[in-house]
Amino acid sequence: MTLGPIGKVWFVGAGPGDPELITLKGQKLLAQAGAVLFAGSLVDRAATLYAPPGCVIRDSKDMTLEEMTAWLIEQTRAHATVVRLQTGDPGLYGALIEMARPLSAEGIEWAVVPGVSSAMASMAAAGESMTLPEVTQSVIFTRVEGRTPMPEGEDLAGLAAHRTTLCIFLSITLMYKVEAALRAAGWPEDAPMLVVHKASWPGEEKILRGTLADIKQRCREAGVASQAMIVASPTLGALHWETLVRSKLYDPTFTHRFRKASA
Ligand code: SAH
């Protein structure tokens, strides 16, 4: 007789690094987990702080995808709650579907708990907003081509032509490509740029501000060559602008469902 699977696999977003930026739901699941597989490269091991004594904890940094899914499947035979802990949000550059398919094929239940993406944490660290009225109302999460090819129609120069907020993942070692793309899209040399290294990591976060012309140099000077978010956005630095279009929602002359205009 073979025993069927008993456990469920939870893909939990660990958040960007600060162990306090995991969701309550993620923390609760960790607290009842029998096994946790965590992404060693970026998830602060501290996130596994929440796992109970006796929990099987494994770093996935030296494992292939096949090994990871085999490990998760094996753990569901022994534990009701198995957690795959991923950096930021599991649905962004997280191989979520690749890992979930073999689970579904085995009839193993799985679910996702979202996490605070490093894009959000980076903007928060810098005290910046992704959107501003009449400046930009859209955000693009993207990357430049490294060993993973970019699908047709998604080259950064084309996306940058929209002049929206661009959160560029996985590209800090390819800053020259980011710069070339922004220039090709007509962004001026003084366009503000932001690089955040290890956003939210206690004691390790670095916030670098510069322009299209000098951001690469700033990264070099600061020794930032990994684990960083690049943001190019027309909203950057708005705290110090002389004029700012107000949000309609909070404008005293604007009536909406919950408030009548006062003037
Ligand atoms: N799922 C993750 C992204 C994984 S891809 C998320 O939602 O954030 C890995 C890339 O994310 C890194 O190359 C870097 O660009 C970014 N990243 C992850 N954690 C980061 C952090 N704490 N600070 C800055 N960038 C981070």
Short-list 104, 111, 77, 105, CA closest to 7: 77
pLDDT at 11 exceeding the cut of 70: yes
pLDDT at 38 exceeding the cut of 80: yes
Q: Which two tokens stand for residue 252?
A: 């005293």
Enter the pTM of the model. Answer: 0.93
pLDDT tens, position by position, 90-132: 999 999 999 999 999 999 999 999 999 999 999 999 999 999 9
* CA 229–ligand 1 middle distance (angstroms): 7
Q: Which residue has the higher pLDDT, 250 or 21?
A: 21
- CB-ligand 1 contact for 113 (6 Å cutoff): no
* CA 263–ligand 1 middle distance (angstroms): 45
Residue 263: which pLDDT band, with cuts at 50, 70 and 90? low
Q: What is the pLDDT of residue 135?
A: 96
Q: What is the pLDDT of residue 119?
A: 98
Q: Do residues 39 and 62 lie in contact, with contact meaning Cβ atoms separated by under 8 Å?
A: no
Q: What is the pLDDT of residue 6?
A: 82
Give me the mean pLDDT over the 71-81 stretch: 97
Q: What is the pLDDT of residue 44?
A: 55
* Best mutation site among 43, 227, 230, 231 for ligand 1 pocket (most ligand atoms within 8 Å of CB): 227
pLDDT at 46 exceeding the cut of 60: no
Which domains does the chain possess? 8-113 (3.40.1010.10), 118-240 (3.30.950.10)
Q: Which of ligand 1's atoms lies nearest the C-alpha of 201?
A: 22
Q: What is the pLDDT of residue 63?
A: 94
Q: Which two tokens stand for residue 190?
A: 């003084």
